[in-house]
Amino acid sequence: MIGGLFIYNHKGEVLISRVYRDDIGRNAVDAFRVNVIHARQQVRSPVTNIARTSFFHVKRSNIWLAAVTKQNVNAAMVFEFLYKMCDVMAAYFGKVSEENIKNNFVLIYELLDEILDFGYPQNSETGALKTFITQQGIKGQTKEEQSQITSQVTGQIGWRREGIKYRRNELFLDVLESVNLLMSPQGQVLSAHVSGRVVMKSYLSGMPECKFGMNDKIVIDKAGKGGVTDEVGKSTSGKQSIAIDDCTFNQCVRLSKFDSERSISFIPPDGEYELMRYRTTKDIILPFRVIPLVREVGRTKLEVKVVIKSNFKPSLLAQKIEVRIPTPLNTSGVQVICMKGKAKYKASENAIVWKIKRMAGMKESQISAEIELLPTNDKKKWARPPISMNFEVPFAPSGLKVRYLKVFESKLNYSDHDVVKWVRYIGRSGIYETRC
Amino acid sequence: MRSVMFRFHVCAGEIFELKAELNSDKKEKKKEAVKKVIASMTVGKDVSALFPDVVNCMQTDNLELKKLVYLYLMNYAKSQPDMAIMAVNTFVKDCEDPNPLIRALAVRTMGCIRVDKITEYLCEPLRKCLKDEDPYVRKTAAVCVAKLHDINAQLVEDQGFLDTLKDLISDSNPMVVANAVAALSEIAESHPNSNLLDLNPQSINKLLTALNECTEWGQIFILDCLANYTPRDDRESQSICERVTPRLSHANSAVVLSAVKVLMKFMEMLPKDLDYYGTLLKKLAPPLVTLLSAEPELQYVALRNINLIVQKRPEILKHEMKVFFVKYNDPIYVKLEKLDIMIRLASQANIAQVLAELKEYATEVDVDFVRKAVRAIGRCAIKVEQSAERCVSTLLDLIQTKVNYVVQEAIVVIKDIFRKYPNKYESVIATLCENLDSLDEPEARAAMIWIVGEYAERIDNADELLESFLEGFHDESTQVQLQLLTAIVKLFLKKPTETQELVQQVLSLATQDSDNPDLRDRGYIYWRLLSTDPVAAKEVVLAEKPLISEETDLIEPTLLEELICHIGTLASVYHKPPSAFVEGSRGVMHKRLPAQGTECPDVGNAAGGSAPEAAPSIIPSQGDLLGDLLNLDLPAVLLPLFNTNCSSYGILYPQVWLPAMKAKGLEISGTFARRAGVIQMELVLTNKAMSVMTDFAIQFNRNSFGLAPAGPLQVLTPLGPNQTIEVSLPLSTVGPVMKMDPLNNLQRQVFLATWKDIPNDNESQFQIQDCHLNSASNKLQGSNIFTIAKRTVEGQDMLYMSIKLSNGIWVLAELKVQAGNPNYTISLKCRAPEVSQCVFQCYEAVLKN
């Protein structure tokens, strides 16, 4: 198991050091600094073995978090734990930065003592932790309160405490998708997938039981076949349903129920959380198409023309569109002409950045640029990195639709109808690249 | 309530100041002072002088202050054991506190203080806490047992904590169950044969129930523990798989990978024609792909594991090639791993896409990545014959770029393509020869020389080309020298008239001016061949070459099986067995995949039941098999007994005989081998100290085999810090013999009782074929396998035998011999069934030789 956990700043100074196992000596702290942080060459693996001691590290801005062990630990678990540790710290004091860590080091030690025991991760849900690890110290808890805390920390529903009350029961549901594309210069899709997240903010009283439904092909086909709800079957047949390649759920979702009935039911944590992640690869709506044209004119000039086409309903508006066209390292000057938006050559980033604030569906726009090159005797050809794109669209490129989200709370007297629900779809570009 | 970190040095004045503050009456001031102490401790300053003052602050009802003091105690108690005793009372009192959080805190902290005197006092509070009414206290106490075991294993056993811990597996609270499982698994690792976890269908059922209810971390502990279980039959195996499958949708990647491990392992037991088997295979692909959208570090862990899974069961991901395409801003470690998997998945169906991608990668910036991409193109050519032509033309395009390392890498792979498809692509040789001058890496030079020699008859100026290399013969690396020698001899055999001078020149360079024994030997062999029998020389040197394998870098099957059992862990990231990087005995037990159920008669041969058609086509070297034995603590010296007729053996895993800590920085690892009939002790000496080591010598204690060095230890150069040297020392068996009790045989009754006592599950049956012996028992006795009883049933001789391995493992055997039938049946029973396979191999070796 994890033998120790260290946090360093970018200079390699230790900010936090907590050793859990006897086999990890103080010199481990220095070994990591010398061999990884101060290493002459950039480290090429997140797992480093130094003198039979394994170091796992992740970086958050310029902070290094390192877990150390001498055993054959579960590596995936160690990384998951390190990410979780970052989340917990962020939930307590905001950004994981050197200053924040220094100012909260007592709190961090207290957290580390709680969420890692002898190197075994324990309950690390911030909701539960915040009930008894506070910077104010626990004052005058009654016995009931204490046992409520411990039963929550160890209980089956460790993510929600009892006795939550809201005057207005409200739910916010965001379907956030990032659409990823790799396209060949000829317009052939090399790979495309959507990775989506359903993020929920719930402000519900009591211990509500929720059920979430979407236009999952498997569910809808099943319903259609069984003939139970004819109406659903009709309205959602054909293109309306989507094939989900795979999905993962927040720990509140009953996985065995999903496995057997494919229904998503859960008792939600309070406040904001990620309910599920999913991935689709079939019938993706690619909101933009990039058509590049690069021509080398002699050895010192490049002509670039890029056309982008929007491919969705004309009534919808895409926002924050940005096209990034890489330029060679030996670029000396660039002249750009674009029909829409603003384009600029950024020498420090070796790219022409073209920004368009808004663009409606089924439109087309174009940029052309002339790039002057300095003559070089560098034998190596320019690698021609792909043209990448950023945007935001108000629909889900996977085609996912929320069908329902039902709330049942048997003990308190509010019904599904009393809950105010909001649904929003946002599609963003993930890695959206076209080779040129 | 913010405090400031103090970065200046702790000077005497500061200590004094802190002391005053710690003893202040004001609570706030005290707390601030303790915080300052902890801050200094974090940055590595010594504040142990404040021990009594800090411990004085322990008696407080302020939980935050208490935690700080405990943190201090954990750090310094070991260096101040006498003073740490002062804290005991408070601990014991806190364990009785009405607040469960404080009870748990006390027992948690006490377990972290590794001072014997404190440990003594820990037992009673721990016993109470293990039965506490509050689950939070129980789950903390469960982990505390593991802590205590780490400090004093005997104490834990004597106090009966292990039984209490076992009871906690049936606890009503899932987190208590999870922690108890984690603690037991850890303790069990240090007692490989203890059967501590005692997994049976009932306890498995409890674990599976808790699996649905506990935290994500608890699920990982439980799944990792489940993976160690071997189901009784395929039905049980299937029902466990069914209950584990839902975990594949968990958001935590570690839960997913641990579930994959359980499924990969238990799948081995399912019959392949079962519908469920196919369903399960299909279910595994999507979660593995999803892991690739995790953070890059987790992607790396996932990819290393997928690499194993793809080798074991290529069918799972064969349609998922695209997800392994490299993204421009993937970190380099992710890129390299993806590339590896792409090549493994390349097939006729997807080769066009793969090649287009690889071509793209070959123009990237990172040198390692580009090299690997170029090499990958060559590997595709070898793997998918239809693509070879396109691969070759792609490689030629790349050579035209003239980027030095691309050219060299391309030439190395083209050599392999020539070997795989002789007389097909020789038209490109001219292009290759143009780049002769730019090659500066030995591997590329050697490859080019090989090509010139192999196709000497088609290259007009082959003699000139080779001659140009001869000028700096002695500056070349061995690889190049050997290749050059062979190439020129080939050339001579093909064009004898014009190259006589050249061949003489190279032969004299190799034999007279070189002190490299390999080179000299090869030179002499050629010389004699050429001078005595040129026809034979032609047959030898220009012989047809064996085919090269399609797959490269495959992990050896037994290791692969072991690594599959370690999915998700560091072993799967390093692609090494845990024994290669874990110190001491903990966790070095070799794991194996379960064999497929009753339908499969030749359990032994299938080695885990992998389908023969899917099995990669490489031959497991026998050395590795012996390696398995070695790691079960069988002393290497026993092996020669079993293999009396073998003249040489593969390399055994060297073991660390002397850790650096015990020998002032000199680490010695070693192994025994028999090479050319001589027993060799192969030593690897590593200097882990800061200074240079010289004057090595070796002396043998009197031992039961009479082993003694046959020559002096040849370490001539001083060993610098961090340097490693490999030496092999020839041994003779004429040294002084130490008389010892031989490994004894068993009494009849004992044999019978033991045979009955060992559960039937541990019995395994093997066939030994084609054995023609008059007296098997005499032959076996010679190798320390003793026949205890013999009876004849219906014309069959039943021999009952026992073997004791030197680490105390008894193996009982029943050998059935039917007169006139050369096939023997052997049943082995042993408490450690892992050794059965190896013992069978030894039997076979002994009986057949």
Q: At residue B827, does pLDDT exceed 50?
A: yes
Gap between the Cα atoms of A435 and A325, Å rounded: 10
Nearest to A14 among B43, B176, B246 (CB): B43
CA distance B253 to chain A (A): 7
Per-position b or e across A188-214, b if 16+ CB within 10 A of its CB? eebbbbbbbebbbebbbbbbbebebbb
DSSP string, B658-688: E-GGGTTTEEEEEEEEEETTEEEEEEEEEE-
| CA dihedral angle for residue B829, residue B835, residue B838, residue B840, rounded to 10 degrees | 0
Residues 244-303 of A with CB under 8 A from B: 245-251, 254-256, 258-259, 274, 276-277, 279
pLDDT per residue as tens digits for the range B525-538 = 998 888 888 888 88
Q: Which residue of B has its CA nearest to A248?
A: B249
Nearest to A76 among B182, B254, B329 (CB): B254
Would an 8 Å CB–CB cutoff place B186 in contact with chain A? yes
Give chain A's end-to-end CA distance (angstroms, integer).
Answer: 47
pLDDT per residue as tens digits for the range B117-155 = 788 888 999 999 999 999 999 999 999 999 999 998 888
Give me the mean pLDDT over the A293-307 stretch: 89
Q: Are B755 and B721 in contact (CB under 8 A)?
A: no
Number of Cα atoms under 13 Å in the Cβ half of residue A298: 9
Q: Which residue of A has its CA nearest to B149?
A: A118
Gap between the Cα atoms of A318 and A359, Å rounded: 5
Give backbone dihedrals phi and psi of A422, rounded to 5 degrees, phi first.
-125, 135
Give me the mean pLDDT over the A213-224 stretch: 84
Q: Are B681 and B649 in contact (CB under 8 A)?
A: no
CA distance A27 to chain B (A): 10
Give me the mean pLDDT over the B279-286 stretch: 92
Would an 8 Å CB–CB cutoff place B3 in contact with chain A? yes
Q: At residue B423, does pLDDT exceed 70?
A: yes
Give, for A354, the enclosing helix (H) or strand (E): strand A351-360
Q: At residue B502, does pLDDT exceed 50?
A: yes
Q: At residue B67, does pLDDT exceed 60?
A: yes
A301 labeled binding residue: no
Burial class (CB in 10 A: 0-12, 13-18, 19+), B659: middle
Would an 8 Å CB–CB cutoff place A93 in contact with chain B? no
Q: Please report the pLDDT score of residue A135 as a whole number.
A: 67
Q: Which of B293, B406, B562 to mutate to test the interface with A (most CBs of A within 10 A)?
A: B293
Q: Please report the pLDDT score of residue A196 as a whole number.
A: 93
3-class SS letters over A22-75: CCCCCHHHHHHHHHHHCCCCCCCCCEEEECCEEEEEEEECCEEEEEEECCCCEH
Percent of chain B with pLDDT over 70: 88
Q: At residue B405, does pLDDT exceed 80?
A: yes
Give, for A276, the enclosing helix (H) or strand (E): strand A271-280
Most confident listed range (B34-48, B145-159, B721-735): B145-159
Query: To the nearest whole number, what is the mean pLDDT of chain B?
Result: 81
Residue B18: what residue type?
L
CA distance B186 to chain A (A): 9
Q: Say if the Cβ atoms of B213 and A156 lie within 8 Å.
A: yes
Q: Say if the Cβ atoms of B254 and A80 lie within 8 Å.
A: yes
- Mean pLDDT is lowest, of A192-196, B495-499, B631-635, for B631-635
Would an 8 Å CB–CB cutoff place A240 in contact with chain B? no
Q: At residue B702, does pLDDT exceed 90?
A: no
Q: Say if the Cβ atoms of A79 and B301 lie within 8 Å.
A: yes
The residues that bridge with B766 in the sheet, in sequence order, are B826
CA distance A66 to chain B (A): 12
Q: Please report the pLDDT score of residue B705 as a whole number.
A: 74
A70 labeled binding residue: no
Q: Say if the Cβ atoms of A54 and B325 lie within 8 Å.
A: no
CA distance B584 to chain A (A): 10
Would an 8 Å CB–CB cutoff place B819 in contact with chain A? no
Q: Please report the pLDDT score of residue B41 as a whole number.
A: 85
Residues 667-726 of B with CB under 8 A from A: 688
pLDDT confidence band for A396 (50 / 70 / 90): very high
- Mean pLDDT is lowest, of B657-661, B723-727, B814-818, for B657-661
Residues 319-338 of A with CB under 8 A from B: none
Count of beta carbons in the 10 Å neighbourhood of residue A166: 14
Q: Please report the pLDDT score of residue B633 as a whole number.
A: 37
Residues 64-93 of B with CB under 8 A from A: 64, 67-68, 70-71
Q: At residue B644, does pLDDT exceed 60?
A: no
Chain B residues closer than 8 Å to A44 by CB = 332-333, 368
Give me the mean pLDDT over the A267-283 stretch: 91
Distances, alpha carbon B156 to alpha carbons B159, B165, B187, B195, in Å: 5, 11, 10, 16
Q: Which residue of A has its CA nearest to B141?
A: A117
pLDDT per residue as tens digits for the range A51-84 = 889 999 999 989 999 999 999 999 999 999 999 9
Nearest to B325 among A47, A182, A255 (CB): A182
Distances, alpha carbon A202 to alpha carbons A123, A275, B466, B570, in Å: 22, 11, 78, 39
Residue B357: what residue type?
E
Give me the residue label for tokens 């839960």: B255
Q: Say if the Cβ atoms of A143 and B328 lie within 8 Å.
A: no
Nearest to A255 among B175, B249, B356 (CB): B249
Q: Please report the pLDDT score of residue B608 as a whole number.
A: 37
Q: At residue B686, does pLDDT exceed 90?
A: no
pLDDT per residue as tens digits for the range A114-146 = 999 999 999 888 888 888 887 665 555 677 777
Q: What angle do CA B386, B392, B397 make, to 5 degrees?
A: 140
pLDDT confidence band for A365 (50 / 70 / 90): very high
CA distance A122 to chain B (A): 7
Could you tell me which residue, B835 or B640, shows the higher pLDDT?
B835
Q: Please report the pLDDT score of residue A364 as a whole number.
A: 93
Q: Which residue of B has its CA nearest to A26?
A: B44
Pick the closest to residue B566 from B253, B783, B262 (CA basis): B262
Most confident listed range (B255-264, B328-337, B582-591): B255-264
Q: Say if the Cβ atoms of B587 and A71 lie within 8 Å.
A: yes
CA distance B69 to chain A (A): 11
Q: Please report the pLDDT score of residue A141 as a whole number.
A: 65
Gap between the Cα atoms of B69 and B82, Å rounded: 17
CA distance A257 to chain B (A): 8
pLDDT confidence band for A378 (50 / 70 / 90): low
Give backbone dihedrals phi and psi of A136, rounded to 5 degrees, phi first.
-90, -10
Q: What angle do CA A261, A264, A266 make, to 5 degrees?
A: 125
Q: Say if the Cβ atoms of A279 and B39 lie within 8 Å.
A: no
Give me the mean pLDDT over the B61-70 stretch: 83
Residues 264-293 of B with CB under 8 A from A: 286-287, 289-290, 293
Chain B residues closer than 8 Å to A52 by CB = 581-583
Residues 533-592 of B with CB under 8 A from A: 566, 568-574, 578, 581-583, 586-587
A342 labeled binding residue: yes
Q: Say if the Cβ atoms of A47 and B300 lie within 8 Å.
A: yes
Percent of chain A with pLDDT over 90: 56
**pTM of the entire structure?**
0.74
Q: Please report the pLDDT score of residue A15 as a whole number.
A: 93
Q: At residue B374, does pLDDT exceed 90?
A: yes
Task: Tell me if residue B804 falls in helix, strand or coil.
Answer: strand
pLDDT per residue as tens digits for the range A20-34 = 998 888 889 999 999
Would an 8 Å CB–CB cutoff place B365 in contact with chain A? yes
pLDDT per residue as tens digits for the range A320-335 = 999 999 998 888 999 9
Per-position b or e across A262-276, b if 16+ CB within 10 A of its CB? eebbbbbbbeebbbb
Q: Please report the pLDDT score of residue B431 as a whole number.
A: 86
Q: Are A81 and A2 in contact (CB under 8 A)?
A: yes
Give, for B506, the enclosing helix (H) or strand (E): helix B500-511
Q: Which residue of B has its CA nearest to A17?
A: B42
Nearest to B290 among A75, A106, A248 (CB): A248
Chain A residues closer than 8 Å to B569 by CB = 72-75
CA distance A4 to chain B (A): 13
Chain A residues closer than 8 Å to B368 by CB = 44
Sheet containing A364-373: order of strands: A288-297, A301-310, A364-373, A331-338
Q: Which residue of A has its CA nearest to B32?
A: A106
Nearest to B63 among A103, A137, A433 (CB): A137
Would an 8 Å CB–CB cutoff place B476 in contact with chain A? no
Q: Which residue of B has its CA nearest to A274?
A: B251
Q: Say if the Cβ atoms of A77 and B99 lie within 8 Å.
A: no
Gap between the Cα atoms of B682 and B694, Å rounded: 19
Could you tell me which residue, A367 or B114, shows the higher pLDDT?
A367
Give me the mean pLDDT over the B277-303 stretch: 93
